[in-house]
């Protein structure tokens, strides 16, 4: 079965998470992705452990779980681009590629003669995708930007965590590098949009994607809450700024989420709780009223939630169509029957480990299962294949590059 992007070749010159996430998404959709890594160490995240995967003898390898999460389906070319010979290889590959993804500092690749203006000379149709912390322009453009820093600077941490005066108060980062992941997804959208335009114009372009821009954009309702009122929203723990009740509550034996999205759900919720009068009370009868009076309503809900078990609440509320559920850890997530039914855990063959676990791509086309192209590669695993198969280099030419330390693998 032909995958949607099997006609595209991607040159992945990025590392860490945002760029590799975009490239992995493209690989999952069928693109041929060549991951260019530095000789001697490769992508920084290869060493971001423990945990590391184990080989078939049960010993730790040098392949981290972090790296495994974002480099599936790629071909690894270990190449020294600081040398003219390595730069020549990149130019040849760019001439035969559709998309290039990089996350060097502004001007970093241009210093090697591998910037957008350089490579468009060898391939006018190339979609050159740059990911930086702050963008290609502006007073902060030369600064490095990591997800944690951008979560803080982009406002995400200002609305995440318990409010002042509560136990554990203070700003918190999200428990996964979400700014990087969102940037990778936006870059995937941008790259494919540019490909669609190229199909009609024949021209490539330079995509300028900044983590700070993405974080600002994805503040969504919180950003508009500020722009409409002029008042910066603050930390509210698990509460929602615009909907009540919509947060975590403590049952007699566990915490669970109750997510009431409209007045009908609210009426059914308090009816199931044996408190029907709370639906007709003018202070709580509409969502706007409940938001205004949350400090009165939430303690009432907290009190009656503690009187029954979590399983009892979940059963009762599911029967009346009120969204609720437990707060699962990762073990519970992958044991969940719905997650298992959807095939979100899978295994791929790996040259060192035999097989490695992977989290499946969530994109599903009805009747068209994903055809994954392979596990995350070992460093330089495909160097020979790329140089000989794509660039038609001879064994002697490849051997010379290896002897000079330009290529590894």
- For residue 327 the two structure tokens come to 């707060």
In Å, how far from its chain's centre is CA 248?
25
Report the pLDDT value the prediction gives residue 370, as an integer from 0 to 100. 84
The catalytic residues are: 180
Residue spans per domain, the chain: 9-217+348-408, 246-332
CB 261 within 8 A of CB 193: no
Under a CB-based contact definition with an 8 Å cutoff, are residues 244 and 236 in contact? no
Query: How many CA atoms, within 13 angstroms, populate the side-chain half-sphere of residue 95?
Result: 10
Q: How far is CA 326 from the centre of its chain?
A: 24
Backbone angles phi, psi at 192, to 5 degrees: -70, -30
Q: Quote the tokens at residue 62.
A: 């040098």
Angle at 210 between CA 206 and CA 213, to 5 degrees: 125
Reported CATH class of domain 246-332: alpha beta
* 9-217+348-408 has CATH 3.40.50.850 classification: no
**CA dist list (Å): 317 to 232, 243, 263, 265, 366:** 34, 18, 15, 10, 31
Give the model's pLDDT for residue 181.
Answer: 98
For residues 91 and 112, the answer to whether their CB atoms sit within 8 Å is no
pTM: 0.94
Residue pair 378/76 in contact (Cβ under 8 Å)? The answer is yes
pLDDT tens per residue, the chain (409 residues)? 689 999 999 999 999 999 999 999 999 999 999 999 999 999 999 999 999 999 999 999 999 999 999 999 999 999 999 999 999 999 999 999 999 999 999 999 999 999 999 999 999 999 999 999 999 999 999 999 999 999 999 999 999 999 999 999 999 999 999 999 999 999 999 999 999 999 999 999 999 999 999 999 999 999 999 999 999 999 999 999 999 999 999 999 999 999 999 999 999 999 999 999 999 999 999 999 999 999 999 999 999 999 999 999 999 999 999 999 999 999 999 999 999 999 999 999 999 999 999 999 999 999 888 899 999 999 999 999 999 999 999 999 999 999 999 999 9
Cβ neighbours for 370, distance < 8 A, ≥ 6 positions apart? 3, 28, 360, 361, 363
């Amino acid at each position: 079965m032909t995958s949607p992007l099997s006609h595209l070749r991607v040159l992945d010159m990025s590392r860490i998470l945002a760029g590799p996430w975009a490239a992995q998404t493209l690989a999952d959709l069928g693109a041929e992705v060549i991951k260019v890594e530095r000789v001697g160490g490769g992508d920084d995240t290869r060493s971001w452990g423990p945990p590391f995967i184990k080989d078939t003898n049960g010993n730790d390898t040098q392949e981290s779980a972090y790296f495994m999460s974002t480099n599936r389906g790629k071909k690894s070319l270990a190449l020294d681009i600081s040398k003219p010979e390595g730069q020549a290889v990149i130019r040849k590959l760019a001439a035969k590629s559709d998309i290039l993804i990089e996350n060097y500092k502004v001007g970093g690749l241009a210093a090697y003669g591998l910037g957008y203006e350089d490579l468009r000379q060898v391939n006018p149709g190339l979609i050159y995708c740059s990911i930086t912390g702050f963008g290609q322009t502006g007073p902060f453009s030369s600064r490095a930007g990591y997800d944690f820093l951008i979560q803080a600077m982009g406002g995400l941490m200002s609305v995440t965590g318990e409010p002042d005066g509560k136990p554990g108060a203070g700003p918190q980062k999200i428990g996964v590098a979400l700014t990087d992941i969102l940037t990778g997804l936006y870059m995937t959208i941008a790259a494919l949009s540019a490909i669609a335009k190229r199909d009609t114009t024949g021209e490539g372009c330079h995509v300028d994607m900044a983590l700070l821009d993405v974080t600002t954009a994805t503040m969504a309702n919180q950003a508009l809450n500020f722009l409409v009122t002029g008042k910066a929203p603050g930390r509210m723990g698990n509460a929602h700024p615009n909907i009540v009740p919509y947060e975590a509550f403590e049952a007699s034996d566990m915490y669970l989420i109750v997510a009431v999205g409209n007045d009908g759900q609210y009426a059914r919720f308090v009816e199931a709780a044996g408190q029907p009068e709370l639906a007709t009370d003018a202070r709580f009868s509409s969502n706007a009223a409940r938001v205004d009076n949350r400090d009165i309503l939430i303690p009432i809900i907290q009190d009656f939630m503690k009187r029954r078990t979590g399983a009892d609440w979940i059963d009762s509320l599911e029967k009346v169509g009120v969204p609720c559920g437990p707060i699962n850890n990762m073990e519970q997530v992958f044991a969940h029957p719905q997650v298992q039914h959807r095939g979100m855990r899978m295994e791929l063959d790996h040259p060192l480990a035999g097989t490695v676990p992977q989290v499946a791509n969530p994109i599903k086309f009805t009747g068209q299962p994903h055809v994954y192209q392979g596990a995350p590669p070992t460093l330089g695993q495909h160097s020979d294949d790329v140089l000989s198969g794509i660039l038609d280099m001879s064994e002697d030419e490849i051997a010379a590059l290896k002897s000079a330390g330009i290529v590894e693998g």
